[in-house]
């Protein structure tokens, strides 16, 4: 085949795979498993880098719109998109080799690992390993390993020296895929009396909207007979002693009826480990009492909408923890491990949400071991792999999606979460705020 035609086809394949995974549909995520083939097949390292960056630019285009929440500058959003694509392409360019056979096999694995493990793993989007659960459901770590090996095996096919190994490995993987689909039991159901409540509160950082959201959540809890209720990320922008007082009756009701609330909440970092008195002093700016007084003055009607603070203010303000707060019949806190770089986690500043790579990936709740992925963590590989090493029994995803609801990102997050649940055959629940 003509050289230029071959290289052109490989480039088109890389772009097509990137566009496919950017849709967020499971079929696109599965198709992206072939990304290493399209990116490592070219005849030179330069062309391999061209194909790889084309894949990432095509697959990550929704980032341009999503990044607008963290910056008002379109050039900065485009720079973040292009910079991420360059960073993620580098391991694949380094992995390219003119040699085929087993050389390519282990290089594919190393490139995959480089995109998972921090620091690069902190922006390790649209990995070809995400589709493992759809290819090899219920196979766990074996399915993940098979997904990493499959592109390298296909690349090794033309090499006569490794043909015997390939002839044995490829049918074995086909058998694993067919067997896992035909023999795997149905997807497990969530634990009895557990529900995930998706909401449509929009921007709860606005004072009036945050108060309305808190009222709605408490009404939902009062009307529910579920034992565990899970609410989306950041539906309570800041949780303090003043907030707890506002929730006092609801929490007392939960304790009396054995209910557990899992609420996405911001926890001012200065209050972690402090006394109750010190906490009240530190979080006066988030006092719900002022909102209550405003309602009383206004005959019980919510205060009128106002422009409110800049959307970035709640993110870039005083240091806080992005958590899943367990209240009611049980009490504990799960901390987000990987916040959005720059937008939430500021490596060269003291504001925002801290990076907690060594924090537990599983929390005990109602006798279950729940692996929790908070929004951004759902598009990465590192947090889910770290959680699965701790043998969870249920997977929980909470998100606050109002700011990128017009992109395929929410669909991708849920498809990825379902893929991991299928791979490790555990139930999953999703709570989203839009």
What is the structure's pLDDT at 317? 52
Q: Which of 71 and 380 is assigned the larger pLDDT?
A: 380
What is the structure's pLDDT at 357? 95
What is the structure's pLDDT at 279? 41
Instruction: From 115, 125, 133, select the one nearest 18 (Cα to Cα).
Output: 125
Please, what sign has the CA dihedral across residues 51, 57, 59, 60? positive
The residue extents of the domains of the chain are 3-183, 194-433
**Rg for the chain, CA atoms, rounded:** 24
In the CATH scheme, what is the code of domain 194-433?
A: 3.60.110.10
CB of 341 within 8 A of CB of 333? no
Reported as a single tens digit per residue, the pLDDT across 285-311 is 444 444 444 444 444 444 443 333 343
DSSP state, residue 407: S
Q: How confident is the model at residue 269 (pLDDT cuts 50, 70, 90)?
A: confident
> Average pLDDT for residues 365-388, to the nearest whole number?
97
> Average pLDDT for residues 9-22, to the nearest whole number?
96
Report CA-CA distances (Å) from 286 to 190, 242, 268, 291, 318: 35, 8, 10, 10, 11
Reported as a single tens digit per residue, the pLDDT across 217-231 is 999 999 999 999 999
CB of 186 within 8 A of CB of 138? no
HEC readout, 235-271: CECCCCHHHHHHCHHHHHHHHHHCCEEEEEEEEEHHH
The DSSP bridge partners found for residue 335 are: 323
The CA distance from 286 to 218, in Å, is 18
The CA distance from 32 to 128, in Å, is 5
Min mean pLDDT across 110-124, 286-300, 410-424 is at 286-300
Tokens of 237: 């922008």
Min mean pLDDT across 133-147, 348-362, 373-387 is at 348-362
Q: 77 Cβ partners below 8 Å, 6+ apart? A: 63, 64, 65, 67, 68, 71
Q: How confident is the model at residue 7 (pLDDT cuts 50, 70, 90)?
A: confident
Phi, psi of 234 (to 5 degrees): 60, 25
Q: How confident is the model at residue 169 (pLDDT cuts 50, 70, 90)?
A: confident
The CA distance from 4 to 250, in Å, is 68
- In residues, how long is the chain? 434
Residue 160 has pLDDT above 70, yes or no: no
Beta-sheet strand order (sheet of 194-196): 194-196, 228-230, 260-268, 320-328, 332-335
Residue keyed to tokens 């490995």: 169
Residue 272 has pLDDT above 70, yes or no: no
> Average pLDDT for residues 306-321, to the nearest whole number?
52
What is the structure's pLDDT at 67? 66
What is the structure's pLDDT at 128? 96
Min mean pLDDT across 127-141, 151-165, 295-309, 411-425 is at 295-309
Residue 45 has pLDDT above 80, yes or no: yes
Q: How confident is the model at residue 54 (pLDDT cuts 50, 70, 90)?
A: very high
> Average pLDDT for residues 195-205, to the nearest whole number?
92
Q: How confident is the model at residue 72 (pLDDT cuts 50, 70, 90)?
A: low
Q: Where is mean pLDDT largest: 2-6, 312-316, 364-368?
A: 364-368
Q: Which of 269 and 328 is assigned the larger pLDDT?
A: 328
What is the structure's pLDDT at 395? 98
What is the structure's pLDDT at 240? 86
Residue 398 has pLDDT above 70, yes or no: yes
> Average pLDDT for residues 72-90, to the nearest whole number?
88
Q: Could you write out the DSSP letters of every residue in 265-304? A: EEEEGGGTT--HHHHHHHTGGG-HHHHHHHHHHTTTPPPP
> Average pLDDT for residues 78-83, to the nearest whole number?
91
What is the structure's pLDDT at 171? 85
The CA distance from 146 to 63, in Å, is 29
Share of the chain above pLDDT 90, in %: 63
What is the structure's pLDDT at 314? 42
What is the structure's pLDDT at 297? 43
């Amino acid at each position: 085949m003509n050289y230029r035609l071959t290289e052109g086809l490989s480039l088109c394949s890389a772009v097509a795979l990137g566009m496919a995974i950017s849709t967020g549909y499971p079929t696109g995520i599965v198709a992206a498993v072939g990304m290493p083939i399209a990116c490592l097949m070219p005849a030179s390292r330069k062309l391999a880098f061209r194909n790889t960056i084309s894949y990432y630019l095509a697959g990550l285009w929704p980032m341009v719109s999503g990044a607008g929440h963290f910056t008002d500058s379109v050039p900065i959003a485009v720079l973040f998109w292009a910079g991420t694509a360059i960073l993620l392409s580098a391991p694949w360019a380094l992995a390219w080799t003119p040699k085929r056979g087993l050389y390519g096999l282990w290089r594919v694995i190393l490139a995959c690992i480089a995109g998972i493990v921090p620091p690069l793993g902190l922006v390790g989007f649209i990995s070809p390993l995400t589709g493992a659960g759809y290819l090899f459901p219920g196979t766990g770590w074996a399915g993940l390993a098979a997904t990493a090996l499959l592109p390298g095996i296909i690349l090794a096919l033309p090499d006569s020296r490794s043909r015997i190994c390939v002839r044995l490995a490829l049918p074995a993987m086909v058998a694993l895929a067919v067997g896992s689909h035909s023999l795997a039991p149905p997807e497990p159901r969530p634990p009895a009396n557990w529900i995930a409540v998706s909401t449509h509160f929009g921007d709860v950082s606005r004072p009036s909207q945050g108060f309305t959201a808190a009222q709605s959540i408490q009404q939902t809890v009062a009307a529910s007979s579920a034992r565990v209720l899970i609410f989306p990320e950041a539906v309570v922008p800041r949780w303090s002693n003043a907030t707890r007082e506002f929730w006092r009756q609801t929490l007392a009701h939960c304790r009396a009826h054995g209910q557990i609330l899992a609420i996405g909440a911001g926890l001012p970092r200065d209050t972690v480990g402090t006394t109750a008195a010190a906490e009240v002093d530190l979080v006066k700016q988030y006092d719900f009492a002022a909102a209550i007084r405003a309602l009383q003055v206004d005959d019980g009607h919510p205060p009128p909408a106002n422009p409110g603070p800049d959307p970035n203010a709640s993110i870039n303000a005083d240091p806080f923890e992005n958590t899943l707060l367990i209240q009611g019949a049980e009490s504990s806190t799960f901390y987000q491990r990987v916040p959005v770089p720059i937008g939430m986690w500021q490596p060269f500043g003291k504001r925002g949400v801290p990076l907690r790579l060594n924090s537990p990936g599983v929390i005990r709740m109602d006798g279950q071991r729940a692996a929790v992925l908070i929004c951004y963590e759902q598009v990465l590989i590192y947090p889910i792999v770290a959680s699965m090493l701790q043998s969870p029994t249920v997977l929980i995803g909470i998100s606050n999606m109002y700011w990128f609801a017009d992109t395929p990102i929410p669909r991708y997050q849920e498809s990825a979460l379902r893929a991991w649940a299928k791979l490790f055959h555990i139930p999953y629940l999703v709570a989203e705020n839009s």
